[in-house]
Amino acid sequence: MHRLRLNPYLLLVLTSLFWAGNMVMSRGLRDDLPPVGLAFWRWVIAFACVLPFALPHLKAQWPILRTSWKRVLFLGFFGVPFYNTFSYIAVQYTTATSATLINSFLPILTSVLAFLFLGKRLSRPEAIGGLVSLLGVVLLISRGNPDALLGLGLNTGDLWMLLATLTWSIYTVGLQWRPQGVHPMLLLASLIVVGLCVMAPMYAWELASGASIKLHAGSLAGIVYAGVIAAFLGFVCFNAGVAVVGPAVGSLFIHLQPVFAAILSALLLAEDPQWYHYCGMVLVFGGILLSTRRPNLLAVPGVGAQTRA
């Protein structure tokens, strides 16, 4: 355990594996785990895991949370209920490999939103990388068929995954205004509370529509995996790794998810990657490498990370 704490790269690799496994699990159990129900109970379990670490800080830091309630609401609204719910909806219609590939577009989209809302100008490598990655995403969602771009066969799941990525990008940009002086576990617990309040009526609507969780050993294991492994442990490993190597290097490990997802999908779901998966992966990765390449990349100091799940 001591060696794990001293090996941030292993922790970041495990994080990508956990999150890729979450996507593959939700794809494999899509008939038994409705998307909103899975997302709701995932966060309930994650909240139960976080709470013992958050409560010791609540009394001392409550005044900060109270005065920063608008920021907490904003981050909780965009950070908790929508990304996972939309991604779970996405894998009802598209493969786990496609979903994780589209998710790799997230850093580029975040850079664009940072430029639009924060005035952070894109460098030439970032602009070129964004265009290359965009070509990869277009190739992926069109399935290599230009007619799909005109609405002839565009995959619904890919559109949901793009929407999920957009909501997470908004959250990531909003992290600039997160309350300072609040323990990360307490902040995460606060965001989960906001997210569950948003998801409760969504879950009620899903139940009223007749979609309910089919309880059996596999579905229960899937929910526990989503809450404990993907949400809680994934968050802890990601933050521990980024605290050492910095956010710039840490974010690059997100792009291991399509690799893990493709392997797990082939092994567990019998999903055979198509040519446009490979081409899209090359373009997305190439664009991201262009946009994130820095001479002093490894010199970025470690800071607190995002509440990714």
How confident is the model over 258-296, as pLDDT tens digits?
A: 777 777 877 777 766 677 777 777 776 676 667 556 544
**Is residue 30's pLDDT more than 70?**
yes
* Burial group, residue 176, by CB count within 10 angstroms (0-12, 13-18, 19+): exposed
Token couple for 153 = 């066969």
**Is residue 309's pLDDT more than 70?**
no
The mean pLDDT of the chain is 79
Which pLDDT value is given to residue 306? 46
Q: Residues of the chain with pLDDT > 70: what percent?
A: 72
**Which of the two residues, 251 and 14, has the higher pLDDT score?**
14
**Is residue 48's pLDDT more than 70?**
yes
Which pLDDT value is given to residue 237? 84
**Which of the two residues, 155 and 69, has the higher pLDDT score?**
69
Beta carbons of 292 and 129 less than 8 angstroms apart: yes
Q: How far apart are CA 95 and CA 24, in angstroms?
A: 8
Which pLDDT value is given to residue 6? 53
Q: Which amino acid does the sequence have at 196?
A: L
Beta carbons of 167 and 82 less than 8 angstroms apart: yes
Which pLDDT value is given to residue 184? 87
Q: Which of 45-49, 108-112, 139-143, 146-150 has maximum average pLDDT?
A: 45-49
Which pLDDT value is given to residue 84? 85
Alpha helix ranges (H) inside 175-274:
184-208, 217-224, 234-245, 247-252, 257-264
Q: How far apart are CA 294 and CA 122, in angstroms?
A: 13
What is the arithmetic mean of pLDDT over 187-214? 93
What is the arithmetic mean of pLDDT over 67-73? 92
Beta-carbon count within 10 A of 216 CB? 11
Of 218, 243, 296, the C-alpha closest to 15 is 243
What is the arithmetic mean of pLDDT over 140-161? 68
Give the dihedral sign, CA 15/21/188/121: positive
How confident is the model over 80-117, as pLDDT tens digits?
A: 899 889 998 998 888 777 777 777 777 677 777 777 77
Which pLDDT value is given to residue 39? 93
